[in-house]
């Protein structure tokens, strides 16, 4: 079993897609290990997206992610990291396949509903950041 970190972004909550997104993961067979809802602090958002600090879209990204409640969760399955990334779909909307979460519900590069950790090591770091109580 592998754990991964997933977060439904503020646009997913505002568009009432929380249930739809969780249903897809449950139908696929993931265990939900932890889940909560919160509006991220500036500090939490900056730590989460530290890797993008020097990108031109960084400030807009941090203000988007702190703009309302998000739903972070820890999901578990064999190969969970890669499974989740495949179910989320590509970053560029023109490359995102129908059947993926982004491919079925988004056309925007920033407001793309959901984040998924990109490697097992990143997943563990993000789980520690968002769920310090799980330690
Ligand atoms: P995450 O799972 O959210 O990390 O998405 P990703 O791994 O597919 O993309 P990446 O880590 O490269 O970028 C993180 C987030 O920054 C994206 O999901 C978008 O919300 C935002 N983002 C990335 N590239 C751009 C861009 O060129 N323009 C804008 N406005 N936002 C971007
Ligand atoms: Mg990423």
Which protein residues have their CB within 5 A of the ion that is ligand 2?
A: 118
Residues annotated as catalytic are 115
Measure CA of the first residue to CA of the last residue in the chain; give whole Å.
18
Instruction: Output phi, psi for 9, to 5 deg.
Output: -80, 170
Cβ of residue 38 lying under 6 Å from some atom of ligand 1:
no
Atom of ligand 1 nearest to the CA of 116: 2
Given a cut of 90, is residue 61 above it in pLDDT? yes
Size of the chain, expressed as the number of residues it contains? 135
Structure confidence at residue 135 as a pLDDT band (50, 70, 90): confident
Dist. CA 91 → ligand 2 center (Å):
9
The CA distance from 54 to 60, in Å, is 12
Domain 2-134, CATH homologous superfamily name and number? Nucleoside diphosphate kinase-like domain (3.30.70.141)
> How deeply is 89 buried, as exposed, middle or buried, from its count of CB atoms within 10 A (0-12, 13-18, 19+)?
buried
Tell if the pTM clears 0.85, that is, is over it: yes
Tens digit of each residue's pLDDT (9 = 90 or more) over 64-98: 999 999 999 999 999 999 999 999 999 999 999 99
Q: Which ligand is nearest to the CA of 101?
A: 1
Cβ of residue 109 lying under 6 Å from some atom of ligand 1:
yes
């Amino acid at each position: 079993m592998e754990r991964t970190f997933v977060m439904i972004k503020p646009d997913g909550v505002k568009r009432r897609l929380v249930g739809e997104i969780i249903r897809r993961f449950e139908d696929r067979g993931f265990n939900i290990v932890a889940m909560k809802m919160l509006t991220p602090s500036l500090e939490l958002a900056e730590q989460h997206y530290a890797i993008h600090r020097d990108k031109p879209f960084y400030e807009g990204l941090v203000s988007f992610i702190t703009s309302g409640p998000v739903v972070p969760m820890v999901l578990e399955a064999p190969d969970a990291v890669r499974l989740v990334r495949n179910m989320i779909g590509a970053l560029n909307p023109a490359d995102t396949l129908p059947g993926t979460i982004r491919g079925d519900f988004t056309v925007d590069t920033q407001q793309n509903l959901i984040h998924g950790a990109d490697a097992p090591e990143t997943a563990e770091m993000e789980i520690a950041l968002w769920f310090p109580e799980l330690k």
